[in-house]
Amino acid sequence: MVDSIDSNDGIFRTQNLNLYYGENRAVKDVSISFKKKEVTAIIGPSGCGKSTLLRTLNRMNDFIDIFSTKGEIFFQGEDIYRSSQDVADLRKRVGMVFQRPNPFLKSIYKNIVWGPQIHGTKKDLDELVESSLRKAGLWDEVKDRLNDLATNLSGGQQQRLCIARTIAMKPEVILMDEPCSALDPRSTARIEDLIGELRKDYTIVIVTHNMQQAARISDKTAFFYEGELVEFGDTKSLFTKPKEKRTEDYITGRFG
Partner 1 sequence: MSLRRRRLTEKCFKIATALITWSSIAILGVLVFQILKEGMQWVDWQFITSLPSRKAEKAGIYTAIWGSFYLMITTMLFALPTGIGAAIFLEEYGGKSRLSRFIDVNVANLAGVPSIVYGLLGLAVFVNLFGFGRSVISGGLTLGLLVLPVIIITTRGAIRSVPKSIPQAAYALGAKKWQVIFFHTLPYALPGILTGVILSVSRAIGETAPLIIVGAAAYVAFVPESLLDEFTALPIQIFNWTSRPQEVFHSLSAGGIIILLSVMLTMNSVAIFFRHKTQRSRNG
Ligand X SMILES: Nc1ncnc2c1ncn2[C@@H]1O[C@H](COP(=O)(O)OP(=O)(O)OP(=O)(O)O)[C@@H](O)[C@H]1O
Binding mask 50-69 for ligand X (x = CB under 6 A): xxx-----------x-----
Among 102, 181, 240, 252, binds partner 1 (CB under 8 A): 102
Q: Which is nearer to partner 1, 1 or 118 (CB)?
A: 118
Residues 32-51 that bind Mg ion (CB under 5 A): 51
Q: How far is the CB of 176 from Mg ion (least distance, A)?
A: 11
Q: Is 165 in the site for partner 1 (CB under 8 A)?
A: yes
Residues 137-156 that bind partner 1 (CB under 8 A): 149, 151-152
Nearest CB to Mg ion, comparing residues 51 and 159: 51
CA distance 26 to 64: 13
- Contact between 52 and Mg ion (CB under 5 A)? no
Give which of partner 1, ligand X, Mg ion, none residue 64 binds (C-beta under 5 to 8 Å, depending on kind): ligand X
Amino acid present at 245: K
HSE-up (13 A, CA, CB side) for residue 101: 25
CA pair distance 141, 154, nearest whole angstrom: 11
As a whole number of angstroms, the distance between CA 245 and CA 12 comes to: 27
For residue 217, give the 3-state DSSP assignment. Answer: helix
Residues that bind ligand X (CB under 6 A): 21, 26, 44, 46-52, 64
